[in-house]
């Protein structure tokens, strides 16, 4: 199952740049870019740090893409 | 990415000079008389210079996450750790495959015993350099991919 994130949406709602968000949570800008593209799944710690900084529930910021996940499972079996 | 290229270029240079120096010693030494040629001097200079540059980089390149002791495994954040893990896995598999191929090639070669030691040195150092290169290239690849 894939994890979908709304980091870009919440970052933009705060008018934050990728660089400032990266500095706030102690990662590189490249990591924020990868996160927003969906090519990198963060650790639980980083996910909580992002949710905490963006003042949003972690379940709203990150959630499972069940449809996509089911498609993957069907393809795998 | 810069830190990985810096570290691996330094490592490759060091192993290359060590191999040349070893080959020089092996080819010119006789039983009970070990000779250290000029290549050892270049190897020592490179090692000291590289060590100094590493120290300076670790002092002034903290923003990039370079660490003197971690070297090529230095990482700025958790994503770079993932990149390093994947690169190391790839480099390990590639180097082991190369060593197995080298073993087969080496066993099949009809080499004069006087050249055996020197060829052995270059086979081994070549494999180490290949490992460094494989790590560097796969690190760059995964860094762009992830």
Residue B77 DSSP label: S
Q: What is the 3-state secondary structure (H, E, C) of A17-55?
A: CHHHHHHHHCCCHHHHHHHHHCCCCCCHHHHHHHHHHCC
Q: What is the ipTM of this complex?
A: 0.77
| Residue for token pair 């529930």 | A57
pTM: 0.85
Cβ proximity of A4 and A63 under 8 Å: yes
Model confidence pLDDT, tens digit, residues B85-122:
999 999 999 999 999 998 888 888 777 777 888 888 99
To the nearest whole Å, the CA of A27 is away from the closest chain B CA by 5
Q: Is the pLDDT of residue A41 over 80?
A: yes
| Window from A67-71, B3-7, B35-39 with minimum mean pLDDT | A67-71
Read out DSSP for B65-85? T--TTTGGG--SSHHHHHHHH
Model confidence pLDDT, tens digit, residues B33-42:
777 888 899 9
To the nearest whole Å, the CA of A30 is away from the closest chain B CA by 9
To the nearest whole Å, the CA of B10 is away from the closest chain A CA by 25
CATH label of the domain that carries residue A17? 1.10.260.40
Mean pLDDT of A35-60: 94
Q: Which domain holds residue A32?
A: 3-74
Q: Report how many domains make up chain A.
A: 1
**Beta-bridge mates of residue A5:** A62
**Beta-bridge mates of residue A64:** A3
Nearest to A34 among B65, B76, B79 (CB): B79
Mean pLDDT of A48-56: 95
Start-to-end CA span in chain B (Å):
13
Q: How many beta-carbon pairs under 8 angstroms link A with B?
A: 27
User: Could you tell me which of B37, B14, B13 has the C-alpha nearest to residue B25?
Assistant: B37
pLDDT of residue B112: 77
> What three-state secondary structure class fits A62?
strand
Return the number of other C-beta atoms located less than 10 Å from residue B91's C-beta: 21
pLDDT of residue A70: 61
Residues of A in contact with B80 (CB under 8 A): 28, 31
Band the pLDDT of A71: cuts 50, 70, 90: low
| Window from A18-27, A52-61, B11-20, B22-31 with minimum mean pLDDT | B22-31
B27 close to A (CB below 8 A): no
């Amino acid at each position: 199952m894939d994890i979908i994130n709304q980091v870009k949406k919440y970052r933009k709602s705060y008018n934050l740049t990728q660089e400032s968000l990266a500095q706030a949570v102690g990662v590189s800008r490249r990591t924020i870019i990868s996160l927003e593209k969906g090519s990198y799944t963060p650790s639980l710690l980083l996910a909580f740090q992002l949710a905490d900084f963006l003042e949003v529930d972690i379940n709203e910021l990150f959630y499972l893409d069940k449809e996509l996940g089911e498609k993957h499972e069907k393809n795998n079996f | 990415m810069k830190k990985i290229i810096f570290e691996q270029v330094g490592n490759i240079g060091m192993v290359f000079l060590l191999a040349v120096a070893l080959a020089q010693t092996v080819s010119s030494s006789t039983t009970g008389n070990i000779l250290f040629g000029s290549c050892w001097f270049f190897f020592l200079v490179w090692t000291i210079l590289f060590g100094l540059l590493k120290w300076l980089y670790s002092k002034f390149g903290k923003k990039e996450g370079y660490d003197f002791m971690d070297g090529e495994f230095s990482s700025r954040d958790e994503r770079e750790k993932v990149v390093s893990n994947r690169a190391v896995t790839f480099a390990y598999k590639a180097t082991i495959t190369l060593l197995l191929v080298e073993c087969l090639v080496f066993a099949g070669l009809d080499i004069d015993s006087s050249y055996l030691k020197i060829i052995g040195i270059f086979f081994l150092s070549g494999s180490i350099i290949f490992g460094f290169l494989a790590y560097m290239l796969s690190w760059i690849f995964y860094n762009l991919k992830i």
